[in-house]
Structure 1
Amino acid sequence: MAGYGPGIIGDFLNLLHPQSATLDMFAVIERMAPLYQELVPETIPYPVFPAEDGMVLWASTAEGDACFLVPGVEGSWRIGVWFRQWAQWEEYEESVPVWLLRQAEGSLVIPGLPLRYLPRFAAVD
């Protein structure tokens, strides 16, 4: 976790961190995981941490969308996004840095995540 810090991209995407006073990953997970777990498996296909083998919430948007790290095979991870406004689940194979960079440069356009227009990062804490 030392490789990144908490912050906000484009006043839209909140990057959580376990040692943040403002964007505390564990506090957000404790508060939100029960709500997301209610959507499993009808809308969100996987259990949510702290459930065993659950996805880990790592970011949220200003519109209430949630970004998860989804466990894969042999220790790999992929990105899962719950788009609240559309009640829709999407998955991406990229790592988090590549996924963010591709959106900021416009090579990955995701409706509902306007990061190509708002790529500025502001650190918090």
Structure 2
Amino acid sequence: MNPLSPYLNVDPCYVVQDTNELILPTGANKTRGRFELAFFTIGGCCMPGASFGAMNRLRLGLKETQSMAWSKPRNVQILNMVTRQGSLWANTLGSLALLYSAFGVIIEKTQNSEEDLNTGAAGTVTGMWYKHTGDL
């Protein structure tokens, strides 16, 4: 018998878990579905998009304002450039991820199967839709 924990006054062998204990509805899978992964996909595209856009515009903003002295107007101008470009890239990549996730869920639900082909089809339809609207 293990000694009792001096802090909780509980035998530690009762606290140790050997397996993952997930609370799932009856009959549910232990893996995430495409709809649940959509939130991760969208957020995972927005954050790098914002970072890339901000860093790229910071580089260009510093180059464009080289002739100005370090002053408050220069700092404000660079900050405006960075936030505008960062949000533009975040919105663009977030929208693409939303389209990709939506098409993936729709394709999966209509076929009632989780195949790798669904991922390729969702990416293809997203690219066609994005290019069709005239962006890029």
TM-score tier, shorter chain, comes to: under 0.3
Higher normalized helix content (fraction of residues) = 2
Higher normalized strand content (fraction of residues) = 1
TM-score (norm 2): 0.22
Structure of higher CA gyration radius = 2
